[in-house]
Chain A
Amino acid sequence: MFTNVLRSSTRIASVARPAIQLQPRTLAAPSTARLYHERVMDHYSNPRNVGSLNKNDMDVGTGVVGAPACGDVMKLQIMVDDKGLISDVKFKTFGCGSAIASSSFMTERVRGLTLDEAGAIKNTDIARELSLPPVKLHCSMLAEDAIRSAIRNYKSKAQERGGSFTGSIDVAQSVSTGETTADPKPGVV
């Protein structure tokens, strides 16, 4: 009985006293950690490649997409080098944490890739990597739309100025053996 009273009184004391010390550690983290996976949190709190490239540059492709259901807007820009590889990527996303994380992750993912490789990335890859909950799947879809839109924009620019972006494949068939060889030449801008 006595120990019970003692225990309960010390419990009260220990709850009441350290409130000030505990608050910063316990309150800040779990409220967000419960909603988002830590990888999302990482990309959200330290987003990579935030910023803008000059959208008027010929070697820059810009994609601006939006999610009408939540009113997010995402801008993703790629810079393509003379080998046809994505040499720089920037993004700006105005929306929720998952949308920011998805686009940040996408920028890291596509750097150094060819346009075809980048365009083949599926939103499910991003969702899996970031462990997005089903309700946030549309954020990864937005990132997929954004990179495709940026690629389209770049390609249309290249075509507009009559660039040799389309590239070519030299196909040759040997008269003697009938063997076909293909020599792909990626477009050089």
Chain B
Amino acid sequence: MKVFSINLRNISRFSTSTTKFYIPLCDSKYYSVLFQGSDTSTPPHAFNLSNTTLKQNYLSKQKQFHPDKPNIDHDYALQTSSLINKAYETLLHPLSRAVYLLELNGIEIAESDSIHDSTLLMDMLELREQLEDAQSEEEVTQLRHDNGQSIQQTTHLLSQAFENNDLESAKNLTIKLRYLCNLDVAARDWQPGAPVVIQH
């Protein structure tokens, strides 16, 4: 536990020397922040996480480093608490967790990357056009439901790819998951006659 807190102090000192609070992605910081010192033995760099365990750990860590606690350095607690939040947010959602895991493995989905999987693009285009042409709430609900199943299926395959250390497949599946998640947001924000623009 002591090692853990020294680690965090280093981060907080690092952050004061730069203008932006920056957490280097070259180690598994988000995993250690939430799992180190806890009873649950989650292997490092695991894609398969139990949301319940994740939430439990998150709450207990937040309790431990709450800035309002007596006998705790306020600034230190504040920064630690913020780091715990970031770790939780990143690891909670399969998409951000996958992107983070890929980064840990030195794989980046770069802005200059192009997509070679034309089937994925054609499928996504078709679904987006379907959503665009949708006339009723029911159509959109159905589309979102089907898309939700695709998200589940892709997440499952992603989990297998990470387990087999098949990072090439993991990258492709992560790209697919991003498209599916964007469609989910678009379907969620759908309103009759209004165009949907993704903010990112």
Contacts and interface: CB of A to CB of B under 8 A. Distances in A.
B198 A145 contact: no
B150 interface: no
A64 B121 contact: yes
B60 to A, nearest CB: 34
Contacts of A73: 121, 124-125, 128, 179
Contacts of A130: none
A64 B128 CA distance: 13
Nearest to A69: B111
Contacts, number: 71
A65 interface: yes
B182 interface: yes
Most chain A Cβ neighbours within 10 Å, of B111, B125, B198 = B111
A44 B197 CA distance: 10
A64 B182 CA distance: 17
Contacts of B182: 71-72, 94
A94 B109 CA distance: 19
Interface in B116-152: 118, 120-122, 124-125, 128-129
A78 to B, nearest CB: 17
B109 A69 contact: yes
A137 B112 CA distance: 9
Contacts of A48: none
A143 to B, nearest CB: 13
B114 A145 contact: yes
Contact of B122 (A64, A72, A94, A137): A64
Given A95-B198, A96-B198, A66 B181 contact: no
Interface string A104-146: 0000000000000000000000000000000001100100010
Contacts of B121: 64-66, 73
Contacts of A65: 114-115, 121
A92 interface: yes
Interface of B: 109-115, 118, 120-122, 124-125, 128-129, 175, 178-179, 181-182, 186, 196-200
Interface of A: 44, 64-73, 75, 92, 94-97, 100, 137-138, 141, 145
22 contacts: A44-B197, A66-B114, A66-B179, A67-B111, A67-B113, A67-B115, A68-B175, A69-B113, A70-B178, A71-B175, A71-B178, A71-B179, A71-B182, A73-B125, A73-B179, A75-B125, A92-B125, A94-B125, A94-B196, A96-B198, A96-B199, A145-B114
